[in-house]
Amino acid sequence: MTIRFGKIFFFTLLLACNTFAQTDSLLFGGIWRTHILHLPPSYSGSTRLPLVIALNGLGGTASGFETITGFNNRADTANFIVVYLNGTGSPENWNCGGKWFISQQPTDTLSTADDVGYISTLIDTLSRRYKIDSTRVYAAGLSNGSMMVYRLAAELSNKIAAIAAGSGPMTLRTMPSHPVAIIHFHAWDDQSIAYLGVTDSHAPVYFPPIDSLMAIWRRTNGCAINADTIYNTSGVLGRKWAAVSTGTDVVLYRANTGNHAWPITGSLAQTDIAWNFLKTHSRTSAAGTIVRNTHETPQTFSLNQNYPNPFNPTTAISFSLPSRSFVSLKVFDLIGREVATIVSEELSVGNYSRQWSTNGMPSGIYFYRLQAGTYNATKKLILLK
């Protein structure tokens, strides 16, 4: 059955065991972009479910990635939605930014599509049609698709809560406005994308070393310096850098010998591990819960005293915006070190309250600073255990 909704076509198929899948097309940037949407059999439209965006590697397809990952089986038991996307170019690829592509054939073309804009629009479109939990939207990818999920983490952190990256590094040199939880899978002997990276400025590609990439995200997410070993089986080592205050952990699984594939080695239940990581993270766990009061329109910018104060372990910080502004709300310790980013996004007119949980931080005096347009205000808060 084909149903037309404006410029979106739905080709719907009801599979065995009441599993529901559909191949859809969305016109974006003058290009019809196709994807496969998988709904779990328990989906009824009454409860909002997490969404996983799955991106294939260079030359792959949405259907191929659907087959190799087995995300559908996990979605059916864990009750989440999966959407598998197709890239553009020849062979099919993602515009992940940076230097990553070496043409092998005269017909090879590097994608120049606005893939971040496309995926953002797709999330909005799916959220209008299905019950999706907007705080639990995740992205998973292989190889070039992995590079793309890093770009989503950097440039779409207002929508992406966590990513699962397989065998592909971040090729951009920009970082997100919000902390984003990261789990990365890579084989030490990967022959396609070296674990140790390619950093020669004269080389046709740039791939940062995976350990360096994890260190960058560890600092961005405010994680502990030292990692905990969470997995050490069959030549695969799993390490976790726990987030101190943001709730956005960084995890790395490295296989001593493996493949440029999903999974990196056949002994690793990569899809299950990825989902078990993703499901524990949300955008609210990264920055607290934000509440907007739309009944009154504020006339001036203001930052209120947190309540309660002193507090342990959670307090509320409220502020007012008389005009749409990019808002930064950060917490600093007594010597001026940034310890948490509570808000970093564009917000519309309104009165807001944001919950902040300290998650193991020591007792003491801290300062929180609001910047919105030209407005700048700082207040003191006290964590007392």
Answer yes or no: is pLDDT of 13 > 90. Answer: no
Write down the pLDDT at residue 33. Answer: 95
Answer yes or no: is pLDDT of 284 > 80. Answer: no
Please give the average per-residue pLDDT across 244-248, as a whole number. Answer: 74
Answer yes or no: is pLDDT of 290 > 50. Answer: no
Least confident segment among 21-25, 75-79, 374-378:
21-25
Taking alpha carbons only, the member of 285, 370, 373 closest to residue 323 is: 373
Taking alpha carbons only, the member of 39, 27, 71 closest to residue 278 is: 71
CATH topology for 2-287 is Rossmann fold (3.40.50)
The model's pLDDT over 98-147, given as tens digits with 9 standing for 90+, comes to 767 665 666 677 788 999 999 999 999 999 999 999 889 999 999 999 99
**Strands of the 302-303 sheet, one edge to the other:** 290-293, 350-357, 314-321, 302-303
Return mean pLDDT, the chain: 86
Write down the pLDDT at residue 105. Answer: 64
Any idea where the domains of the chain sit in the sequence? 2-287, 290-383
For 3, counting Cβ atoms within 10 Å of its Cβ (0-12 exposed, 13-18 middle, 19+ buried), the class is exposed
Write down the pLDDT at residue 50. Answer: 96
Query: Which residues are paired to 345 by β-bridges?
Result: 327
Least confident segment among 141-145, 168-172, 326-330:
168-172
Backbone dihedral region for residue 336 (phi beyond 0: left; psi -120 to 50: alpha; all else: beta): left
Structure-token match 């310890």, residue found: 339
pLDDT bracket for residue 227 (50, 70, 90)? very high
pLDDT bracket for residue 264 (50, 70, 90)? very high
Q: Which residue has the higher pLDDT, 315 or 163?
A: 163
Write down the pLDDT at residue 10. Answer: 40
Q: Which residue has the higher pLDDT, 216 or 286?
A: 216
CATH topology for 290-383 is Immunoglobulin-like (2.60.40)
Please give the average per-residue pLDDT across 294-318, as a whole number. Answer: 80
Backbone dihedral region for residue 135 (phi beyond 0: left; psi -120 to 50: alpha; all else: beta): alpha
Answer yes or no: is pLDDT of 286 > 60. Answer: no
Answer yes or no: is pLDDT of 14 > 90. Answer: no
pLDDT bracket for residue 61 (50, 70, 90)? very high
Write down the pLDDT at residue 7. Answer: 39
Interacting residues of 374 by C-beta distance below 8 A, sequence separation 6+: none
Least confident segment among 2-11, 211-220, 243-252, 289-298:
2-11
Please give the average per-residue pLDDT across 50-69, as a whole number. Answer: 96
Write down the pLDDT at residue 202. Answer: 62
> Of 135-149, 281-295, 344-358, which one has max mean pLDDT?
135-149
Write down the pLDDT at residue 97. Answer: 85
The whole-angstrom separation of Cα 138 and Cα 180 is 10
Write down the pLDDT at residue 203. Answer: 60
Least confident segment among 64-68, 92-96, 230-234:
92-96
The whole-angstrom separation of Cα 265 and Cα 271 is 12
Distances (CA, A) of 320 to 307, 342, 355: 15, 15, 15
Tokens of residue 280, six digits: 């524990």
Least confident segment among 30-34, 248-252, 345-349:
345-349
Task: Answer whether 0.85 is exceeded by the pTM.
Answer: no
Write down the pLDDT at residue 103. Answer: 59
pLDDT bracket for residue 4 (50, 70, 90)? very low
Answer yes or no: is pLDDT of 295 > 50. Answer: no
Query: Which residues are paired to 353 by β-bridges?
Result: 291, 318
Backbone dihedral region for residue 59 (phi beyond 0: left; psi -120 to 50: alpha; all else: beta): left
Evaluate whether 309 touches 382 at the Cβ level (below 8 Å). yes
Q: Which segments within 228-348 are labelled E, that is strand?
A: 228-233, 236-241, 250-255, 290-293, 302-303, 314-321, 325-332, 338-347
